[in-house]
Amino acid sequence: MVTNIVKIIIVNMGVKMMSLGIFFSLKSINILCFFSELYYNFNMKYSFKNDYSEGCHPNILKALEKVNFDQQEGYGDDEYSKKAKELIQKEIKNEKSDIYFVSGGTQANLIIISSVLRPYESVISADSGHINIHEAGAIEAVGHKINTVKSKNGKLRIDDIKQVLDVHTEAPHIVKPKMVYISNSTELGTIYKKDELEKLSRFCKENKLFLFMDGARLGSALCSSKNDLTLHNISKLVDIFYIGGTKNGALLGEAIVINNDNLKEDFTYNLKQKGALMSKGRVLGLQFMVLFQDKLFYKLATHANKMAEKITLSFKKQNIPFLTNSFTNQIFPILPNDMIKKIEKLYGFYVWQK
């Protein structure tokens, strides 16, 4: 049987997915959809392609409208950004961490990596890491080599890092690996457990490597049924990370958190030089304020994960195998091609791997 791996992402806005979750059922190899609002909009495919097919959570829109004519300082010095920073500092239980809001994940990655590394230093990543395969060479464009290692499930292990260090001994004729890049959840929907992150953190400290966690999908990871990490743990274990809003209910925005004091100096200069210090920073700050009030950030991610789990179970009942064992909102079922042809008439998704 000819099969392909498809990628399904459950959007985190909540409302529509609720009806999809209730009425979604797999019969034989067809996906059947009853009574839901989707039924009445059937000329429009329901998209599982990514987290961007809908705008933002209604509370965010309402908040934006409510304060629209209130005057505020520019460049992130507004009241909402200040409040959002306080809420995040409270959540990570570290009032000393510096926090900056930027517009997207690729931007966060290139700002962080170019701020932390010297020109001749490199970053170690899984070959499937977002910075390696999905950012059009953004990291290379700011002058840094990515040392990639093969990874089956998207995660980096200590042995992988050792492997890179072992072949980078010819100083100064070779780049100097100085940072370890991981993402949680990974590009393949897998997550890091607390003991894994602790080991990575210890190893990085022993080897004078900075540990950077790309958290574009952190909400989904933290709310996974298999997760045992908190934002507090993460802020203790990694030097720098970010919390993704774009993929978790915000219109746009990522919150960069700097835990290591040595990485704080002049961060704003790099933000400004790379065009990331937004004059209307209030738009980002306000969204994070809403996400971290009343735990909306966690509620949205939990909901998306639950809906993904329902779809996973439906596939499993049909004995459909998966590329990875994902407990987040990205799932990778391996489907027969004729099934893909049928399903794609009703739903949008990517064929991830052929």
Kindly list the residues in this chain that would bind ligand PLP in the complex (CB under 6 A): 104-106, 109, 130, 183, 214, 216-217, 246
Token output for 329: 């909102």
Let me know if 154 is exposed, middle or buried by CB neighbors in 10 A (0-12, 13-18, 19+): buried
Q: How far is it, in rounded angstroms, from Cα 146 to Cα 177?
A: 9
Q: Closer CB to ligand PLP, residue 106 or residue 248?
A: 106
Token output for 12: 């985190």
Closest residue to ligand PLP, judged by C-beta, is: 105
Shortest separation between residue 246's beta carbon and ligand PLP, angstroms? 5
Q: Closer CB to ligand PLP, residue 130 or residue 178?
A: 130
Q: Closer CB to ligand PLP, residue 122 or residue 132?
A: 132
Shortest separation between residue 149's beta carbon and ligand PLP, angstroms? 17
Q: Closer CB to ligand PLP, residue 76 or residue 219?
A: 219
Q: How far is it, in rounded angstroms, from Cα 160 to Cα 332?
A: 24
Q: Closer CB to ligand PLP, residue 238 or residue 339?
A: 238
Q: Closer CB to ligand PLP, residue 178 or residue 217?
A: 217
Q: How far is it, in rounded angstroms, from Cα 155 to Cα 325?
A: 12
Q: How far is it, in rounded angstroms, from Cα 193 to Cα 226?
A: 8
Cα angle 290, 184, 95 (rounded to 5 degrees) comes to 50
Q: Rounded to the nearest 10 degrees, how much is the dihedral formed by the CA atoms of 238, 213, 203, 263?
A: -50
Shortest separation between residue 174's beta carbon and ligand PLP, angstroms? 27
Shortest separation between residue 252's beta carbon and ligand PLP, angstroms? 8
Q: Closer CB to ligand PLP, residue 105 or residue 177?
A: 105
Token output for 265: 């100096």
In order of 177, 246, 277, 296, the CA distances from 249 in angstroms are: 35, 6, 22, 9
- Say which residue the tokens 């910075």 belong to: 131
- Say which residue the tokens 């995660």 belong to: 155
Shortest separation between residue 156's beta carbon and ligand PLP, angstroms? 13
Shortest separation between residue 109's beta carbon and ligand PLP, angstroms? 6
Q: How far is it, in rounded angstroms, from Cα 187 to Cα 338?
A: 26
Shortest separation between residue 258's beta carbon and ligand PLP, angstroms? 18
